[in-house]
A and B are shown apart, each in its own frame.
Chain A
Amino acid sequence: MSDAMDDWTGSSDDLQAAEYVLGVQDSNARASASRRAEADAGFAALVAAWEARLVPLSETISPSEVPPHLWAEVERRLGWQSQAQGAVPQKPQSLWNSIGLWRGLAFGSSTLAAGALALALLVMPAGGPATPPPPPPGMPMVAAIATDVGDPMYMAVIDQGSATITVMPMKAPVAGAQVPELWIIGEGEAPISLGVVPDKGMQRAPFPPAHMERAHHGALLAITMEPPGGAPGGKATGPAVAKGAIQSL
């Protein structure tokens, strides 16, 4: 304390603590007291004692209604995802980053939605064309391919811009003598083979250009189990063990 302490009966530390808690210091003195309270346990105890003496005065202050959105903002600043209320879009300009969009899709399960998101995020930035396709015509399509009881088997992303299909096994069929083969089935059409797919590891392959027009919203992707090398003659030999509709974004 630079000025006289004639009116103070205690130590200068105690005065500094009292003035800090009361809030009468200017910025510099306050900042220095604040730093000291962080670093010096003895001083921090003096501050705590003054808080116990003076801060109960706050009890006379009436509460004020808090706007409902503030908590979500606290969570965001803490780096917590607000799971319960839907995530805040990270980059509104990019559809890819809009979790809400993904959540809104009618997937069979949330696991599938999460898988589709993960896959799409993996696939798109790395493998896309040099210049990103304009969103409306070039938007990828996704499908969650699941068993009849809803267990996810594969996730697929079809990118018309680069004419590719990316397949990621979620819970692929048990490897045995047979291999999984992927089919696209338009309404009222015979299945068309898109080739054998791996039972583990992500695979990105060209989408047969002749069949690209069949890849539209609502068309089905299906998996059958076929002999090694794929279905002979392009005709499925077994039933579909999993299927899922293509969703456009």
Chain B
Amino acid sequence: MADAQTEARDELASLLRHAAARDRAALREIYRRTSAKLLGVCLRILPQREEAEDVLQEVYITVWDKAHAFDPRLASPMTWLAAIARNRAIDRLRALKRRPADALPEGFDIADETPDAQAGLEQSQEYAKLRGCLEILEPRTRGAISSAFFGGHTYAALAEKDGVPLGTMKTWIRRGLSALKECVGR
């Protein structure tokens, strides 16, 4: 698995370099390889399919504009792409103003961090390490970080959802982030 994974990563990094050199076919190939995954990422934050699909288009326009900024020393290509998808989706979510915290799916904080069986086969060392670090956190901290990450919710929405004061939610998440930084390293 590791070899196939490394190969896929290298190919994607190479495609990004070609896209940076204004190769349209490279962008198309990046799209072919990653759009289903990135649509999944957008849908997590924007459950309305129409919004998620519109944001997905913006994602590839951003990829085209910013491909030159991809640095394989800083992140894997998939992480870089997923970060763009997350950022665009969260921006859209904020633009749509409020998303009631109580509209979250039941038990989201547990379900959302359960790896999909199929996705599990493709997981990177980076994910394995992060997951190990998350498991060390207190459950409520882990839950808060997980729902923040997957839902793109603000501190305020998370506090409301968990029925805790805003300051408490900030404390949980900041402690969690601190611990993660120490554990994951870099």
Contacts and interface: CB of A to CB of B under 8 A. Distances in A.
Do A and B share a complex? yes
Nearest to B183: A53
A61 B130 contact: no
Contacts of A66: 35-36, 39, 53, 56
B140 interface: no
Given A24-B148, A74-B57, A60 B113 contact: yes
* Highest count of chain B CB atoms <10 Å: which of A21, A73, A74, A77: A74
A111 B150 CA distance: 52
A220 interface: no
Interface string A22-51: 111111001000100000000001001101
B106 to A, nearest CB: 18
B18 interface: no
A22 B130 CA distance: 14
A15 B173 CA distance: 11
Nearest to A9: B178
Interface string B60-72: 1100100000010
A249 interface: no
A77 B178 contact: no
Interface residues of A, number: 47
Interface residues of B, number: 70
Contacts of B48: none
B99 interface: no
Given A7-B178, A62-B116, A66-B39, A57 B127 contact: yes
Interface in A38-84: 45, 48-49, 51-67, 70-71, 73-74, 77-78, 80
Contact of B61 (A7, A9, A22, A77): A77
Interface in B88-115: 90-91, 94-95, 113-115
B137 interface: no
* Secondary structure dominating the interface of A: helix
A18 B155 CA distance: 13
Contacts of B53: 66-67, 70
Contact of B94 (A26, A63, A64): A26
A213 interface: no
A10 interface: yes
Contacts of A67: 53
A23 B116 contact: no
Contacts of B35: 66, 70-71
Nearest to A29: B154
B181 A24 contact: no
A59 B94 contact: no
Contacts of A58: 41, 78-79, 82, 85-86
B180 to A, nearest CB: 6
Contact of B118 (A30, A51, A62, A64): A62
B57 A63 contact: no
A53 B146 CA distance: 13
Interface in B134-186: 145-146, 148-150, 152-156, 158, 167, 170-171, 173-175, 177-178, 180-181, 184, 186
A58 B184 CA distance: 16
B14 interface: no
B86 A23 contact: yes
A187 interface: no
B17 interface: no
Contact of A21 (B56, B71, B83): B83
4 A-B pairs with the lowest CB-CB distances in the bound complex, closest first: A63-B36, A60-B115, A7-B174, A56-B126
21 contacts: A6-B171, A22-B173, A23-B152, A24-B153, A24-B155, A26-B94, A34-B87, A48-B74, A51-B75, A52-B75, A53-B180, A53-B186, A56-B124, A59-B78, A59-B127, A60-B123, A61-B41, A64-B43, A65-B36, A74-B31, A74-B57
Interface of A: 3, 5-10, 14-15, 18-19, 21-27, 30, 34, 45, 48-49, 51-67, 70-71, 73-74, 77-78, 80
